[in-house]
Structure 1
Amino acid sequence: QIIEDMEHLTDEAKIWQKTAGVHVAQLKYKDNIIIREDVSRHVAVDKVIGAAAKEGYDFSQCYVSYSGRMPADMLIKVIRVGIPIIISNAAPASSGIDVARAGNITMIGFVRDNRFTVFTAPERVNFEE
C-alpha cells in the first residue's frame, strides 16, 4: 500500500509532471484521498491538512505522503494535528527522526523502486501484506 500510494501521488501530480518544480502532498483517510501541489513542500502539506480539516476527517486515522525531505519542522506540523504516519520518497533529516521518535510517529522514507525504509514506530506498518 505504501508503494502504491507513492505511485498514486506522482501519477496525480500534474504540475510536477509538467515542470518538476513543485512538491506534491496527499492525505489518505479511509477511501478518501486529498492531493495538493505547491512550490513549497510545507505549503503542499498545509493544503492537504486544511482540506481534510474542512471535511472533518479524523486525523488519527489519516496519513500523509509527500515529496520532499522530512526535517523536524515538518514532523512537528504533522504531530500537532495528530497524524500518526508520514511517508516520503526522500530522506529524513536527523532532526526529523528525533522529533518522530519523541512524537511517536511512524516515519517512512526512501519510497522508490518497490522498497522503503521505516525509521520510527514500525509497529504501525503491516509487513505481511
Structure 2
Amino acid sequence: MDTPNQAYPGVDPPRAGMSGHCPRCGKGRLFAGYLRLEPVCSRCGLDLAALDSADGPAFFVMSIVSFVVVGLALYTEVAWSPPLYVHVLLWVPLAFILAAPLMRIVKGLMVGLQFRSSAAEGRLQSHDDQ
C-alpha cells in the first residue's frame, strides 16, 4: 500500500519538480500558472497545496541573481565608469532575465525536496505531551 509521501519507483522528486511535474508520480503538472501550484496532481491525486514553498525560492533566486548582477555592475563601474542611466539600462533588465526562469526551476526543486523529506509545517509541542 502506498503511503501519501512515497514516490513512485523511478521518480526523483527534486528532478521531477524542477521539470514542472508532480514529485510523486513524475507525470502530472506541478504548476497551474507560471508560479502557482496546481491544488492536486491530476494523475496521482497528491495534495500539492500542502507542498507550497512560500518565499523560499524567492530568497535563493534573489541571492544568486543579486550576486551576479552586483558583481557585474561593480566591475563595469570600476572598468569604464559609465553614467547612471547605463547601469539602469543594463542591470535592471538583466536581473529580470535571470530571475524569471530561475524562479520556476527553484520553486519546483523546493517542492520536490519538501516532498522527498516529508516536510510539514512546524508544530509546537508542550512539555506535557512528551
Whether these two folds match at TM > 0.5 is no
TM-score under structure 2 length normalisation: 0.26
More helix by share: 2
Per chain length, whose mean CA-contact separation is higher, i.e. which structure has more relative contact order (CA < 8 Å, sep 6+)? Answer: 2
Larger Rg: 2
